[in-house]
């Protein structure tokens, strides 16, 4: 297979650095250029010494590298619409971060632009390439626990806002400033926006879409944030499956500007645990465990050293394969739309104080 000429754009998303090794090592790809959102993002990028040239202008990057076939849009949520449209105009395939947009009209405009250009647009929901999730899907498909009746899941992390400030800015994260509810100074755009994975996974595991959700925010652990950091969600799917999710930023962090050792205060900075209750049994799973552990430098705190962390390898494989073989990615814009709608319904529920039907 001819390697796909690929570039990265913006470099401001929290997942940016996770692509570097994969883009450099995978023979299906030829990583030719990067384009940083600003000088700070460029300087952070340069710390990793990838050897791939980095520009501060998209136009300059595309002019100097007219052979770019695909890009990873590693940008804030409010940049996605314009970037997807520009890539569609150029006929460049797109790997978008996990929230294309919370504005459903904008979301539909992206679908239209991608369809018209005939490009591949894959959404970065890397859990699908996690081997534990792979096993979960297999066990469920084989009927290990029978028909699913309930799913409980956590998608809890530290807050990345100190390293990636846009994630704490309502306009950049949610797309506009929308108060959480009457009398609450906080706005939409926090932890929920960072954690779509379990909303997506439950649809895959059950084959059903959301019926209604109920959501409640708690007092922030970080009172200075403009956005929510603690919330809970429950509800039902259209097939009757009950669920309860925790998509919070419930693990505290050191306020590092660049993620690195010592970032976490709680030993495990990121957890996706999924419990599936079926008519014939129960599956209890930890998608990021077990690991190895230490209490050494720099903070002498007990720390999980993530040991099996290669979701990006499989995701990029699929992206390159879809480009060369003209296939639709598993997580495409259309598939992902009901997940975004469910997350919006969570915010509506917070605002109303009652359950909300997912439209």
Q: Give the binding site for other proteins (CB under 8 A).
A: 25-28, 129-132, 134-136, 139, 144-145, 261, 280-287, 289-297, 300, 302, 305, 307-308, 310-311, 313-314, 317
Measure the CA–CA gap between 57 and 35, rounded to whole angstroms. 6
Q: How far is the CB of 314 from other proteins (least distance, A)?
A: 5
Nearer to other proteins, 133 or 233 (CB): 133
Q: Point out which residues pair with 150 in neighbouring strands.
A: 242, 277
Q: How far is the CB of 329 from other proteins (least distance, A)?
A: 16
Q: Which residues contact 174 (CB under 8 A, 6 or more apart)?
A: 77, 102, 187, 188, 189, 193, 227
In contact, 149 and 321? CB cutoff 8 Å: no
Measure the CA–CA gap between 67 and 352, rounded to whole angstroms. 50
**DSSP character for 240?**
S
Q: How far is the CB of 150 from other proteins (least distance, A)?
A: 14
Q: How far is the CB of 58 from other proteins (least distance, A)?
A: 30
Nearer to other proteins, 97 or 287 (CB): 287
Measure the CA–CA gap between 271 and 340, rounded to whole angstroms. 21
Task: Record the tokens describing residue 144, joined without a space.
Answer: 């290990």
Q: How far is the CB of 296 from other proteins (least distance, A)?
A: 3
Q: How far is the CB of 302 from other proteins (least distance, A)?
A: 7
Q: How far is the CB of 293 from other proteins (least distance, A)?
A: 6
Measure the CA–CA gap between 87 and 61, rounded to whole angstroms. 13
DSSP H or E segment with residue 154? strand 148-157
User: b/e for 84-98, b at 16 or more Cβ within 10 A?
Assistant: bbbbbeeebbbbbbb
Nearer to other proteins, 67 or 300 (CB): 300
Measure the CA–CA gap between 208 and 267, rounded to whole angstroms. 35
Nearer to other proteins, 204 or 337 (CB): 204
Nearer to other proteins, 139 or 232 (CB): 139
Q: How far is the CB of 288 from other proteins (least distance, A)?
A: 9
Nearer to other proteins, 111 or 313 (CB): 313
Q: How far is the CB of 283 from other proteins (least distance, A)?
A: 5
Nearer to other proteins, 118 or 308 (CB): 308
Nearer to other proteins, 67 or 279 (CB): 279
Short-list 269, 247, 271, 272, CA closest to 260:
269
Measure the CA–CA gap between 219 and 46, rounded to whole angstroms. 38
Measure the CA–CA gap between 304 and 116, rounded to whole angstroms. 46
- Tell me phi and psi for residue 136, to 5 degrees: -55, -50
User: b/e for 252-287, b at 16 or more Cβ within 10 A?
Assistant: ebbeeeebeeebbebebbebbbbebbbeeeebebeb
Nearer to other proteins, 30 or 171 (CB): 30
């Amino acid at each position: 297979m001819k390697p796909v000429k690929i570039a990265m754009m913006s470099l401001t998303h929290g997942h940016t650095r996770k692509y570097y090794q994969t883009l450099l090592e995978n023979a299906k790809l030829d990583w030719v250029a990067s384009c940083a959102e600003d000088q700070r993002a460029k300087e952070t990028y340069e710390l990793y010494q990838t050897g791939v040239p980095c520009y501060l202008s998209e136009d300059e990057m595309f002019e100097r590298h007219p052979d770019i076939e695909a890009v990873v849009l590693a940008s804030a949520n409010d940049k996605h619409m314009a970037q997807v449209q520009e890539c569609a105009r150029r006929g460049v395939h797109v790997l978008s971060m996990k929230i294309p947009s919370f504005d459903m009209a904008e979301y539909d405009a992206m679908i239209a632009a991608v369809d018209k250009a005939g490009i591949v647009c894959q959404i970065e929901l890397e859990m699908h390439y996690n081997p534990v999730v792979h096993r979960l899907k297999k066990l469920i498909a084989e009927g290990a626990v029978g028909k699913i009746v309930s799913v409980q899941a956590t998608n809890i992390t530290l807050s990345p806002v100190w390293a990636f400030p846009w994630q704490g800015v309502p306009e950049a994260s949610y797309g506009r400033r929308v108060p959480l509810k009457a009398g609450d100074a906080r706005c939409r755009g926090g932890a929920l926006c960072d954690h779509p994975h379990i909303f997506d996974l439950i649809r895959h595991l059950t084959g059903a879409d959301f019926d209604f959700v109920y959501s409640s925010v708690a007092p922030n652990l970080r009172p200075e944030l403009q956005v929510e950091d603690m919330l809970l969600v429950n509800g039902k799917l259209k097939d009757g499956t009950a669920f309860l999710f925790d998509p919070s930023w419930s693990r505290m962090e050191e306020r590092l500007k660049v993620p690195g050792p010592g970032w976490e205060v709680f030993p495990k900075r990121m957890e996706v645990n999924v419990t599936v209750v079926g008519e014939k049994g129960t599956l209890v799973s930890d998608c990021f465990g077990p690991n190895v552990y230490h209490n050494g430098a720099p903070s002498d705190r007990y720390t999980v050293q993530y040991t099996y962390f290669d979701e990006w390898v499989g995701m990029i494989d699929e992206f390159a394969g879809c480009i060369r073989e003209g296939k639709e990615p598993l997580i495409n814009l259309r598939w992902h739309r009901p997940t975004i709608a469910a997350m919006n319904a969570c915010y509506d529920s917070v605002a109303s104080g009652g359950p909300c039907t997912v439209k």
